Structure 1
Amino acid sequence: MEEKEVNQCQIQEWYPKFKSISIKTHIHELPESFIQYLLDDSGPFLLPVSISNDDALPNRIHNPEEEEDYQVPEGSDDESEQPPPPPSFPELELKVKESIESLGGAVFPKLNWSAPKDSAWISSTGSLRCTTFSEIVLLLRSSDSLIHDLCHAYDSCNNMSSSRPPNFFLALRKWYPSLRPEMEFRCFVRSQCLVGISQREVTTFYPVLLEKKNYLKQLIQQFYEDNVHLKFESRNYTFDVYVTKDERIKVLDFNPWGAFTLPLLFNWEELEQSPREGSNDVELRIVESQCAVRPGLKTAVPYDYLDTRPGSGWDQFLRNADEELQRQTRSFEAGA
């Protein structure tokens, strides 16, 4: 695999060309200071200070009466041990706020290649849904999988010349609460031929896929021929799609062939077999029974979140969970 092939799968590279058949997305270039913040594990994890009270850290951190607990008297022997001021990214935050509003009030984030799916556990909703800058940063900072984008994107390249791209981007994608996971599929393209399609969510058996298997295969094949074939510049790659209720198809993502991309219900050895010229015999694989489901691949809790100090990621998670519980309790009482 070449660096060029990996670079072509960055969302800021492919989205402009496939914008009309993808999910509405706003993309922002990230300052290097923000990248260093995401990588910094030298001290306690604190979310950036917000430019408004809407996204601010817990009030007790900024309560003047309690700030005395964090102050060291002038001339004290401990003066040199004062923690550095919390980070702040006001320009980026303003852009993100504008994008969230423009995209309907809720988004899910990703960097050049990856989304922080492994950190959804820290969200009060258990998902990647974000409505504020702080929620986005919490997901990004708590994700282990994003280290791939930040440090290891080219590890599988045979011509690796750098450990990271020169620029990083934050993609904010419109959040759709009604998306059905059973209608997401990964497509495998080798030598510019569609050679396989796999159910994307392999941890669950969906009976509806058995009923629609042949029809869905034909639908995705035709979509590939009409909208993707020869338009994506690599010869070998994968792409993820979503089939809507009205049978339209949306491109969700592009990924390199092999390396860190999961083959799901296939294996790379069988996908590597050269396709027959002109063959339309593409296999769609689905989980065909409850016994055939696959286990989840990323279930570990990041070690960083053993830190429960005020302002830490775990502290924020507990506050989010408490707020969600109170909201549900109020809704129940109102309904009663």
Structure 2
Amino acid sequence: MESSPVYTRLTPATIKTSSSSTISSMKEEEVNRCQIQEWYPKFKSVSIKTLIHELPESFVEYLLDDSGPFVLPASVSNDDALPNRIHNPYEEEDYQVSDGSGDEAEPSSPPSFPELELKIRESIESLGGAIFPKLNWSAPKDSSWISTSGTLRCASFSEIALLLRSSDSLVHDLCHAYDSCGDRTLSRPQKFFLALRKWYPSLRPEMEFRCFVWGQCLVGISQREVTTFYPALCEKKDDVKALIREFFGNNVRQKFESENYTFDVYVTEDERVKVLDFNPWGAFTLPLLFTWEELEQNLREESDSVAFRIVESQCAVRPGIKTAVPYDYLDTSEGSGWDQFLRNADVELHRQTRSPEAGA
């Protein structure tokens, strides 16, 4: 997968970061702490129910293999093969591979992971029949479009395999997790894990928040879903901020060992806070309604307050920038295409904010 066209044309020279100090100070151990199999056991009581399976190397190689057409594992039946999206090459008359001698060769045997599939099937059943998957760090959010529901909801091994194999963003976990580490010695983790997280259809996206921690102090909170304006959230923002601050002090600050990091939470209707994820400070982590410069400026000002940002009007909605690479790999340097795009977006946002229709 090192030869993936999505990533190989992006070199370290194109990396745009918030500051050189942020990246150079990131360590492998900090990235490792953000793996779900590392943090979940400590936060199990305040997170959503999750079952984690170590992946055999053969399955990792299957995810990385882009040398031919997408073939589902051998045990997946025709009913599970999602025929509208993925075809069984054995049933396609035009699927022929030449061996160079003029004779038509048979397609290679599809992969088989019977032990893993059995464990996953049992886990899905124990979690209520539906889950959403993620690897050590990332979920295959960029491939949700290929599922029947348009979400990450999976009820079978075949749906999980389809999402994982269709995701470009998972290349980060498989090949590039340590690229931003100043003390990098690894190219990939020694082991990969598949986390099956219980699917909750009633979760409200406006109640997900990303929290920014520097020096073990909570310095910022951002609404996680920035592409939509939720009027009801404006009325709750002070209460939500207080709940998250209390939760951080009671449940996160003394348990998570890194000095600088981010973590995502969900606030339930009965005002309980649940940990969803941990990520490093900077690098491939999205700052959402902040910029890393703004967060670091707040630190330089030695403010004791926690900056809390939500989308407070329709004009403040951010466009959803969905890319197949980590945020930090985008070339947003001055004069680049992404730099001009973001500048134009900011100009349009300010124009709308100042317009009479916006109430200015």
Distance 1:215 1:247 in 2: 9
Give the % identical residues: 78
Provide closer, same or farther for how the CA distance between residues 68 and 274 of structure 1 changes in structure 2, counting only shifts above 3 A. Answer: closer
For residue 132 of structure 1, report the CA deviation from its aligned partner: 0.2
Determine helix, strand or coil for the equivalent of 1:272. helix
Which string of whole-angstrom CA distances, capped at 9 and with x for unpartnered residues, describes residues 227-260 of structure 1? 0012101000000000001110100000000000
Which of residues 190, 214, 217 in structure 2 aligns to 1:193?
217
Provide closer, same or farther for how the CA distance between residues 224 and 246 of structure 1 changes in structure 2, counting only shifts above 3 A. Answer: same
User: Any unmatched runs of 5+ in structure 1?
Assistant: 301-336
Distance 1:104 1:114 in 2: 22
Aligned to 2:145: 121
Which of residues 254, 268, 272 in structure 2 aligns to 1:230?
254
1:153 aligns with 2:180: no
For residue 283 of structure 1, report the CA deviation from its aligned partner: 1.5
1:3 aligns with 2:28: yes
Which of residues 134, 141, 149 in structure 2 aligns to 1:110?
134
1:44 aligns with 2:69: yes
What number of residue pairs does the alignment pair up? 294
Please give the TM-score of this superposition, normalised by the length of structure 1.
0.82
Which of residues 42, 47, 52 in structure 2 aligns to 1:22?
47
Which of residues 208, 227, 234 in structure 2 aligns to 1:203?
227
For residue 127 of structure 1, report the CA deviation from its aligned partner: 0.2
1:100 aligns with 2:124: yes
- Letter of the 1:281 counterpart: S
> In 1, are the aligned partners of 2:81 and 2:87 still within 8 Å (CA)?
no
1:1-336 matched pairs, under 5 angstroms? 1-50=26-75, 55=80, 58=83, 61=88, 77-79=102-104, 81-273=105-297, 275=299, 280-298=304-322
User: Any unmatched runs of 5+ in structure 2?
Assistant: 1-25, 325-360
Determine helix, strand or coil for the equivalent of 1:224. helix
For residue 82 of structure 1, report the CA deviation from its aligned partner: 2.2
Please give the TM-score of this superposition, normalised by the length of structure 2.
0.77
Distance 1:47 1:220 in 2: 42
Aligned to 1:317: none
* 4+ aligned runs moved over 3 Å, structure 1: 51-63, 66-72, 273-280
Provide closer, same or farther for how the CA distance between residues 70 and 214 of structure 1 changes in structure 2, counting only shifts above 3 A. Answer: closer
- Letter of the 1:103 counterpart: L
> In 1, are the aligned partners of 2:75 and 2:112 still within 8 Å (CA)?
yes
Distance 2:233 2:82 in 1: 44
Aligned to 1:332: none
Which string of whole-angstrom CA distances, capped at 9 and with x for unpartnered residues, describes residues 252-275 of structure 1? 000000000000011111212464
> In 1, are the aligned partners of 2:206 and 2:225 still within 8 Å (CA)?
yes
Which string of whole-angstrom CA distances, capped at 9 and with x for unpartnered residues, describes residues 66-98 of structure 1? 6898799xxx9424x322111111111000000
For residue 50 of structure 1, report the CA deviation from its aligned partner: 1.8
